[in-house]
Structure 1
Amino acid sequence: MRFYPLRVVCLLVIVYFLSLSWIKSFPDDGELQVLDKRLSVAEELGGKVSKDLSLLLKQLGNMTRAANVSHLWSNTSSSSSTTMATVKHLMDDLSRQSLPQASIHFYMPHLRKHPNSLVPHVVLGKGRSGVTMVLGIPTVKREKQSYLVSTLSSLLSGLTSSEMQDLLIIVFVAETDLQYVEGVARSLSENFPKEVQSGLLEVVSPSQYYYPDFNTLKETFGDSKDRVKWRTKQNLDYSFLMLYAQDKGTYYVQLEDDIFAKSGYYSDMKAFTMLSSNEWLYLEFSQLGFIGKMFKTRDLPMIAEFFLMFHKDKPIDWLLDHILWVKVCNPEKDNKHCDLQKGMMRRRFKPSLFQHVGLHSSLPGKLQHLKDKDFGKEGLFQAHNNPAAAVNSSMKHYQQHSLERLYKGSDFMWALTPVRGDYILFSFPQPIRIAGYLFRSGNSQAVGDKFHNTTVEVLSSNTRAAEKLLAGSPSKYKRSDSKFVVIGEFYNGVAEGEIPEVLQPISALRLVVHSDSDVWALLSEIHIKV
């Protein structure tokens, strides 16, 4: 509904003159005196109505500029549907005046020019919410290498089905180039189709009007103009992501797009939250910068508003420390007392669960050799007691990192760049019954050296049963060459599954590469379960 002040004023004028004409039509003096008094009252009421209308129009104008930070997204998306209710409320009680609400527009006034500048662009997502843990990963266009796929593979590897259902990973593509954003979403859809389809993985980006003009920033703390732009944008990116995630789960964990996660990180974090008292602002699962900081989602609006309030002034890790100072430090006491109080509001988990692996920073031209010393030495391979077998491979290994050493449980296998047709073969002296298998590629030192487009195949000693299985329709098993049957494939660097009873016993098992790789391949775990 729209209000047109000019029409209202015209209507009042017409009513006024009609009233005068009606009064003049009565010649009786007594009646005229009564009507004159009524006219005076009407004029007073008319003036009050005019003031009330002016006030109403002014407040309606202010509505579009006053959005509370804690309801940032809901106010933006539902403003049109609530306008009628708000207007009715204002008309019912215009005499009551409320103080202006704090708003993101006070800190980023350029957003007032574009009403939809705070609406997130959800590229991929199923609207998952109500989970225990939300992982937020901002990513940007890098001049050199992108680590995003490897980071996500590390986070997803080893999660149980129940953990996957109780987790949400939000990738925030902090770019306004829609073509680039769509490219990232397409890459993640191709690499993690199951996670996207289930709603475990979301991809969002900001409006093209979200960021201010970074050229107007002042250089502070001896930082160059490029670094000031970089740290300011980082503050805005983290704030956007926090506000988007605030109603998705119970806890929010801030990560970066170039990290490696330790096995079992999810269960370790969840257990630590249960052991910690409720009086904390954040928990630390890494000592580096902002990596691995966990917050309660109910605190995110306050934290994000603080970041936005000072987004042009200081780096985000400094601002986080300032929040602690404001909350618990007494200016009349010394730094030792302050540090003690802050320590009670942040709890540290050791050893660290996340390691920084990126060499090229998102700040152009900067190299980062940051390593978390508390991360410890993640096992480079996992040994198992595998059945006796003759092992061989068409791939050449690097230095002493051979297939034989891995199978015996003394090292990992590191092969030079695989090409189509390469294989790894396990031949058993006698056919054996195999319950299942697990092959894991990559490790903490070579996160990206994984097997892709590689199948797991078995040679059954029961040829007739294998043919019958393959002839069945539909069948998830496929025929390969030399009477081998395809029973599985690598997904995110891992192949795991069971072998059907009808194919037992097994004479041989092999891995077959179906396309040329761009990187070396490292096999860190072989477990043939008998």
Structure 2
Amino acid sequence: MYRKLNKFESMQTFLQPNIYVFMPHLRHHPGSLVPNVVLGQGRRGVSMVLGIPTVKRDKQSYLVNTLSSLLFGLTASQCQDLLIIVFVAETNSDYVNGVAETIMKNFPNEVQSGLLEVISPSQYYYPNFTSLKETFGDSKERVKWRTKQNLDFSFLMLYAQDKGTFYVQLEDDVVAKSGYYDEMKAYAINEASKPWLYLEFSQLGFIGKMFRTRDLPMITEFFLMFHRDKPIDWLLDHILWVKVCNPEKDDKHCREQKALLKQRYKPSLFQHVGLHSSLPGKLQHLKDKDFGKQTLFKAHNNPPAEVSSTLKHYQTHSLKSAYEGRDFFWAITPLQGDYILFNFSQPLYASGYLFRSGNIETNGDKFFNTTVEVLPSSVSNVCVRVFVFWACEFVNGLAEGKIEAALQPVSALRLVVHSDSDVWALLSLHVPKLTVM
């Protein structure tokens, strides 16, 4: 016999599952899910959000190189339509602040513009890992590592869910292929009508997986539900199984159905470079065979000129071959007073110039404290040639500018080094030409 509910009982609703069900320890700390935004301008509405979790490593940090790779070659419009979130997955405030200071020092413009954010979790976010069960033959240390990774990725995804259209999961020890932004965005738009859950821009683990941000709440809830049980790449595959696999049909049918929910882009746009894993003592020799070779410079058609320099080049990477678009210029350690000179065969009206130092593989070999000088043709025939410096210097390895009308036509350009460097310098260059006198 059924009992009729009284008025009070009929007004009660079912409790909805939420993160507190899967992580009950959070109930004791109401602010435990509030992210600590160490650096950020609150950017929203971008096309693409890149999420990079990073942890303290025993051996070597690859984070700065990873960020340099992602930022290398981005245009101004691309920088405005992108958000890169670094999630420092540690609760030690000194370490978190140290990472933030390093990023601020190396990428001040990107931080100030809102392109780069640094966040960290509350000290109460992580549960007690000592009670985890050892499964699949993994050691207690590895079970802890993979469980924490599940929680790290989930936190980052939840933070990113309202900041853009697409979310891309990366790691802190990868390099990106030149032009990755345009290729990813174009592919995502081209595949927009298809029912994919994620797009793959690397075949390794969780690197380069793109999701629609609208799907992140569902994905993170699944991860949190089983965060103690399996590694995150296994859990992602299980989401596909739950969505489309029919238990009454064979594995082949299941694989075919899962393939509809993920699209693979080739060649891969991200390569894993870290040797030392974030799991202490583990070495990773993971390489994506579909990544191919990097393009280390972009050839430009420059106006005829005689080029010279006090800098010595390394092997065949000469200034002449770089100017003629056949290679990049790689100079041995610049010293104060060193220069690079471009004497144009005829005075010309030049719309501007672009000098980019470093490349995706040797991004530390940049020009520092180096300025660009212009020689107008109106003063080039006097006994002492006067170069006019007009407020342009290398910033984070890049010098780009337009040449104002008062200095036209131009007879020469010169780069001048104002202090000794501790590193070599690698240069590619572009002098756009309008008309020649």
The two structures share one fold, judged by TM-score above 0.5: yes
Which residue, out of 308, 320, 329, partners 1:413? 329
SS at structure 1 position matched to 2:342:
strand
1:331 aligns with 2:235: no
Task: Work out the CA distance in 1 between the residues paired with 2:144 and 2:420.
Answer: 41
For residue 348 of structure 1, report the CA deviation from its aligned partner: 1.0
SS at structure 2 position matched to 1:375:
coil
For residue 212 of structure 1, report the CA deviation from its aligned partner: 2.0
Give the conservation status (yes or no) of the 8 Å contact 1:157–1:492: no
Q: Deviations over 1:231-270 (max 9, x none)?
A: 2221111000001111112211111222222233222222
1:492 aligns with 2:396: yes
Aligned residue for 1:507?
411
SS at structure 2 position matched to 1:338:
helix
Task: Work out the CA distance in 2 between the residues paired with 1:420 and 1:141.
Answer: 37
AA aligned to 1:371 is K
Task: Work out the CA distance in 2 between the residues paired with 1:387 and 1:109.
Answer: 67
Alignment length (residue pairs): 423
Task: Work out the CA distance in 1 between the residues paired with 2:98 and 2:336.
Answer: 26
Question: How is 1:284-323 mapped onto 2 (pairs within 5 angstroms)?
Answer: 284-323=200-239
**Structure with larger RCO (C-alpha < 8 A, sep 6+):** 2
Give the conservation status (yes or no) of the 8 Å contact 2:379–2:386: no
1:132 aligns with 2:37: no
Task: Work out the CA distance in 2 between the residues paired with 1:94 and 1:463.
Answer: 93
Query: Which moved further from structure 2: 252-261 or 94-103?
Result: 94-103
What are structure 2's unaligned runs of at least 5 residues? Answer: 1-5
Aligned residue for 1:359?
275
Distance 1:425 1:152, change over 3 A: same
1:395 aligns with 2:395: no
Which residue, out of 181, 187, 190, partners 1:275? 190
Aligned residue for 1:437?
353
Which residue, out of 215, 228, 236, partners 2:151? 236
TM-score by length of 2: 0.89
Task: Work out the CA distance in 1 between the residues paired with 2:361 and 2:330.
Answer: 11
Task: Work out the CA distance in 2 between the residues paired with 1:365 and 1:517.
Answer: 35
Aligned residue for 2:117?
202
For residue 280 of structure 1, report the CA deviation from its aligned partner: 1.0
**Between Structure 1 and Structure 2, which shows a larger proportion of strand residues?**
2
For residue 98 of structure 1, report the CA deviation from its aligned partner: 1.9
Task: Work out the CA distance in 2 between the residues paired with 1:291 and 1:192.
Answer: 23
Distance 1:369 1:518, change over 3 A: farther
For residue 129 of structure 1, report the CA deviation from its aligned partner: 1.8
**Between Structure 1 and Structure 2, which shows a larger proportion of helix residues?**
1
For residue 330 of structure 1, report the CA deviation from its aligned partner: 1.4
For residue 483 of structure 1, report the CA deviation from its aligned partner: 4.0
What are structure 1's unaligned runs of at least 5 residues? Answer: 1-51, 53-91, 465-480
Distance 1:221 1:94, change over 3 A: closer
For residue 284 of structure 1, report the CA deviation from its aligned partner: 0.9
Aligned residue for 1:383?
299
Query: Which moved further from structure 2: 157-166 or 254-263?
Result: 157-166
Task: Work out the CA distance in 1 between the residues paired with 2:116 and 2:236.
Answer: 27
Distance 1:221 1:397, change over 3 A: farther
SS at structure 2 position matched to 1:373:
coil
Distance 1:364 1:426, change over 3 A: farther
Which residue, out of 105, 130, 154, partners 2:20? 105
Distance 1:311 1:420, change over 3 A: farther
Distance 1:501 1:365, change over 3 A: farther
Task: Work out the CA distance in 2 between the residues paired with 1:210 and 1:272.
Answer: 36
Distance 1:515 1:304, change over 3 A: farther
Task: Work out the CA distance in 2 between the residues paired with 1:392 and 1:398.
Answer: 15
Task: Work out the CA distance in 1 between the residues paired with 2:107 and 2:197.
Answer: 33
Q: Deviations over 1:423-478 (max 9, x none)?
A: 322233444332211122233332333333332222333359xxxxxxxxxxxxxx
Task: Work out the CA distance in 2 between the residues paired with 1:286 and 1:454.
Answer: 37
Distance 1:417 1:220, change over 3 A: farther
Task: Work out the CA distance in 2 between the residues paired with 1:367 and 1:404.
Answer: 42
Task: Work out the CA distance in 1 between the residues paired with 2:59 and 2:373.
Answer: 37
Distance 1:457 1:171, change over 3 A: same
Task: Work out the CA distance in 1 between the residues paired with 2:275 and 2:378.
Answer: 51
1:428 aligns with 2:344: yes
Question: How is 1:51-200 mapped onto 2 (pairs within 5 angstroms)?
Answer: 95-200=10-115
Q: Deviations over 1:152-192 (max 9, x none)?
A: 23323333333333222211111112122222223323333
For residue 338 of structure 1, report the CA deviation from its aligned partner: 0.9
SS at structure 2 position matched to 1:319:
helix
SS at structure 1 position matched to 2:211:
strand
Larger radius of gyration: 1
Give the conservation status (yes or no) of the 8 Å contact 1:351–1:375: yes
SS at structure 1 position matched to 2:320:
helix
